[in-house]
Chain A
Amino acid sequence: MINKFDSKKNILRYPALILILVTGVLTIVGSNGTRTVTIAPSPLPPKQGDITNVRITASEKEELSQIEYSVNGLNGTRPATDVPFDVTLNTCKSNGNYRTTLTLEAEATYNDNEVRTNEQQYDLTVGDNLREDIDLDYAVYVSKGSNKDEEVMLDIANRFRSKFNSYSESQYHWSQKRYYKDEAIQYANSVDMAFSIGHGNHHYYLSSDGELDLSQTEFGNFTPCNANGDLEYLIFISCLTLSMEEVSATPFWYYWFHKESTKFTKKPFTGLHMVLGFRSTTRFNSYHWGRWRTWDGKNFVREFANKINSGWAIADAWIDAASDELKQSDGRNLAAVLYLREYENDTIFTEENDYIYGNDNYSSPGQKVMVYLD
């Protein structure tokens, strides 16, 4: 006589029996401790600048009485018939509103008076790298100018484009102020690296359509509201953009980084990793061969591109290429890099999260750094 349950073959003859057994086990476990209340924020992980949707739900809805919830202090109660439901929270900064954490709480009460709770807390000052566009790309913006200036700038821009091969080029445009401001999310803040060339001054860049006050811009993963900016490296080949001079007793870095009193306003470092530029005027050697060209300006960007392509730390590559290829003997061409210390050793292949004011990597003493030629 053959035992019906001794072989796999025989078990497969009784699928209905197996289903009954499994369902029974699940029912017993569920009513004895697997009731759950779930809080699921989206997008995930949340960051400041999101319109966060929080979906709240609970298991065994037929046994559920109600759910009480709190989303960053916004409290409410919903009957079982509403479950699942969504609560929306705007974490974009605005005057008087600068969210650094997202605290979510939900408490489900069942008809048999059993209570289930769930609490979650997220740090909104971290912009997870996974929230960014996965393409590694760069933009090149050139300012229109007089014939000679323009040809020399194009010469430099084209040399960089011909040598930098680690990212793909997604934009090559005449610079416009809107690329850095209102439409940044389609332009400078949509790429990983923005390379700009033109005239400049203390925290200013002259785009083709006028002066751009960079202290009124913001770049990085946290901006604009309800989107994911991408920019990590902002490069200016221009005079004085990274000048270290005080302006009316205001230190230069106040124009670039947030502090408590400016956190509601715009500043470039809103997830941005690094600004590369010059703290002095710049001077390149030019010559005419069919058009205006420069050999040292071109050598500088060629060397910078080669170094970052081969894995040099970006800040190191910028300073080294400038001091190798450009003359500093008359006080010009003093390259500088402004960054958060977290990114000091970053290569263009490093994947790092973004940070804003309020995060230790941004706000703690010693986290903001300038490296420069002197």
Chain B
Amino acid sequence: MKKQYRVNCAIILLISFFSCHAEIVNPDIKSEIDGILKKQVPVYQLDLKTNEENFERIDSWFQQYVDLNGFTCTYEDRMGPVQCKLKLSKNIPIISTDNISTIIRSPKPFNIYYTKGPRKRALRKALWIPSKIERSKDYIKQLANKFMYQYGYYKQTNNDKIDKAFVVSWRTRPLDLNIKKTEVSTILHRVKFSRVFQGLEVINSKQIVDFHPESLELLSYKNISWTPVNESSGKFKQYLTMDEVLSQIHAFMKEDGDASKIKEVRLAWYQSPDLIFPVMLVKTERVDREIEIYPIEHALVISLVKGLRLDNEDYAFEKPEK
């Protein structure tokens, strides 16, 4: 009798588990997840030697403009990036294209920053000279593309390519309490390049190029988690099962109840310090219409390879006491 009761309970639990999954993950989405899991892709090692060569080229290029020896540097931590800073009183334009028109003169000294990390190079001139001139996104993308292909800090392969360019601008606006619509100026136009490997996005790789809107001089170049892949190193590792994936999605979405639904699931890559491995991106959208206080939204990223997590950062995790 007791055994029968346990079996019944187990059946009820299983039914409720799968019925919850069924509510959150509709058959179409489930079918897409199934397709992603069946298309098993390998895990690749990064090509750290080529990356070092790329970084040396970036360092040499940058050295042409500013003497790196003059920088004051601080170490984030023992293994982390080195953050370097130099104050300049005169702007030396980094001319990345033929299109430069005027040289921006800074009325006061400004900082130039250079970050060197194992998977990162980031140059940035903190030159805030807002301009009323506004360039079109297409034009800025063209300039950025030209820079990326002309200087070639990253050698593309048939499998590993620069993908979309997205433009985000830094604006500034004085707020005069007597004028509702004050004039907007632009500090810089930023182009963020995404990366595809074997036709799939590498979700945390990016190269960034900033231009001054007026002079069109280069204000930043950043190469973040965009390490070449050793394409012959692919190894198939044990994937998560369908139930394990559904369980994560269920746990992720159950608290939202009917407030959100899955908008998209897709396969992508994530670059860790040493590897590039497959992940599943689960994008949700809110469907409750009358939100008064907006929650921070989340997109779920599931590492499809057992035992591989998305970062290995360790630090004290504490809850407030009161």
Contact = CB atoms under 8 A, between A and B. Distances in A.
Interface of A: 140, 142, 145-149, 152-155, 158-159, 161-163, 172-174, 198-201, 204, 206, 211, 237-240, 246, 251, 253-254, 257, 259, 281-289, 291, 293-296, 298, 302, 306-307, 309-313, 316, 319-320, 323-324, 328-329, 332, 338, 341, 344, 365-374
Contacts of A201: 292-294
Interface in B48-76: 74, 76
B315 A174 contact: no
B315 A158 contact: yes
A370 B173 contact: yes
B114 to A, nearest CB: 11
B298 A294 contact: yes
Interface string B292-310: 1111111111110000011
A199 B296 contact: yes
Given A148-B298, A366-B174, A324 B208 contact: yes
Given A152-B298, A316-B126, 16 more contacts: A140-B320, A148-B298, A159-B313, A238-B294, A239-B296, A283-B298, A287-B303, A295-B301, A295-B311, A306-B81, A306-B83, A328-B192, A368-B175, A372-B172, A374-B168, A374-B169
B301 A323 contact: no
Contacts of B17: none
Query: How big is chain B's contact interface, by range?
Result: 35 or more
Contacts of B292: 201, 211
B316 A158 contact: yes
Contacts of B174: 341, 365-369
Contacts, number: 191
A323 B190 contact: yes
Given A162-B316, A201-B292, A287-B310, A174 B297 contact: no
Per CB-CB distance, the 9 closest pairs between chain A and chain B, nearest first, are A239-B294, A162-B315, A146-B255, A283-B297, A368-B175, A286-B298, A310-B83, A253-B175, A366-B174
A310 B298 contact: no
Contacts of B297: 239, 281-284, 332
Chain A binding surface, main DSSP class: mixed
A16 B254 CA distance: 94
Interface string B203-217: 110101000000000
A294 B81 CA distance: 20
A304 B202 CA distance: 23
A160 to B, nearest CB: 10
A254 B176 CA distance: 10
Contacts of A240: 294
B83 A238 contact: no
Contacts of A369: 172-175
Contact of A200 (B113, B192, B293): B293
Contacts of B204: 295-296
A295 B310 contact: yes
A288 B251 contact: yes
